[in-house]
Amino acid sequence: MDVYEAIKMRRSIRKYRGDIVPENVLKRVLNAARLAPTTENFQPWRIVVVTDEDIKRKLVSACNNQKFIAEAPIVLVACGLPDEAYPMLGGYMNSYPVDVAIAMTHLTLAATAEGLGTCWIGSFKEEKVAEAIGAPPEARVVALTPLGYPAEEGEKTERKNLDELISYDKY
């Protein structure tokens, strides 16, 4: 599957089959995240691969009870490390959320190419996620995603037209 196809095919998946994700497939998907660009190549992130059912249950609760998360055999928790990131992107912001988001985008597209489903989870309580995975205080939780074989096609969502999103030469 080429990258355009993966971009078009990816959907947020909120129903999963329980089937195990083979180790080599998981490794390829994680490696896609590893290869993502980061500010000054600092790579200020860590992804925790959760398969333990008890921790998955705690993550469901930490994600405001989004139960479908635990249907997948794997839940990924993506954390950023502000102290290892570029502090003043554009002169005003720490790069870690951007760095993590790019890595997760690589990962979700690779997952699509492998026939796997993902769903970016941004509705969570950081403190509860951090406690569930034993994250140290310097790690900030940016996103989670279930990872597994889809049991649905996913909702077809619309996007704005290009002319609402893109302008040329001037804003």
Ligand X SMILES: Cc1cc2nc3c(=O)[nH]c(=O)nc-3n(C[C@H](O)[C@H](O)[C@H](O)COP(=O)(O)O)c2cc1C
Interface residues with ligand X (CB under 6 A)? 11-12, 14, 66, 119-123, 154-155, 157
Contact (CB, 8 A) for 71 and 16? yes
Cβ proximity to ligand X: between 156 and 170 the closer is 156
Nearer to ligand X, 132 or 168 (CB): 132
Output 155 or 169, the one with its CB closest to ligand X. Answer: 155
As measured in angstroms, the least distance from the Cβ of 169 to ligand X is: 28
Min separation Cβ 40 and ligand X, Å: 24
Residue nearest to ligand X (CB): 122
Other Cβ atoms less than 10 A from the Cβ of 47: the count is 20
Distances (CA, A) of 98 to 53, 74, 82, 142, 166: 30, 23, 11, 10, 20
Helices 53-62 and 126-133, axial angle in degrees (round to 10): 170
| Torsion from C-alpha of 36, 7, 144, 49, nearest 10 degrees | -60
- Strands (E) across the chain are located at 45-50, 74-80, 117-118, 140-148
120 vs 149 by CB, closer to ligand X? 120
Least separation in angstroms between CB 69 and ligand X: 9
Beta carbon of residue 122, minimum distance to ligand X (angstroms, whole number)? 3
